[in-house]
Amino acid sequence: MAVFIDCRDWSGHDSQWLRVTPLYANLSEAVAAHGLALRGGFHPAPEDASPDAGEGRATRTLVLVGNVGPDLWPHFAPQDDGGRDALDRWTRATMKPIADRFAARCIFPFDTPPLPFQRWAMRAEPVRPSPLGILMHPDHGLWHAYRAALLFAEAIDLPSPDARPIPCDTCADKPCLSACPVGAFSGKGYYVPACAGYLASPEGIGCTTGGCRARDACPVAADRRYAPDQIRFHMAAFKRAVCG
């Protein structure tokens, strides 16, 4: 998997295209050392609304980085200081040196104004919204997330597009829609007040400590479910977001 860099992007002088190391594979190895994973990439078109790659250079390759299953937790948990936005701060501190090493600009889903990470995800890999609204992946189910995007001024080689359908397309029973104790999910939307009210009540302790029952009801990638502490961490953040 070769990568080609137009040297004019770097030196300002005309030069031939150079064959360099397989950047995508090396980048995958770099993020995996921190429990993260490359989540595919694409060569942006104007309608993708990609920010520039820095110094006014157009982005010619966008690569997504995220977490899948429980792999992230052993790397982040020891660094969790218990403060607000701890995972966001850890992600920024982890990804910035990697971006610098690979001469990329790094942006995040928690940046403001918000960036279209879900739309980019659907360009980069075989994901689409599940009946819960969370993006469904054929291998990772609902147990994954996007943490960063790397923007390159070079057109780099990427894995072949994966066009697999999502499991929701052939799921007749859709147990995710019947598992919520207050019916917050209808398949057409998410009724936030019902969910927030339940989480704030004594009865909602099962969701805050054990995880969202609707999400947990999905049979896809059940063996890749988040670690128990990871679920409690995310549910605490979710409860703060919906309950205030």
How far apart CA 71 and CA 16 sit, in angstroms, is: 41
Looking up tokens 């920010």 gives 51
Token pair listed for 126? 């075989």
Token pair listed for 83? 């403060």
DSSP state, 202? Answer: G
Q: Could you read off the pLDDT of 194-239 as tens digits, one per residue?
A: 999 999 999 999 999 999 999 999 999 999 999 999 999 999 999 9
State the pLDDT at residue 17.
35
Q: How confident is the model at residue 244 (pLDDT cuts 50, 70, 90)?
A: confident
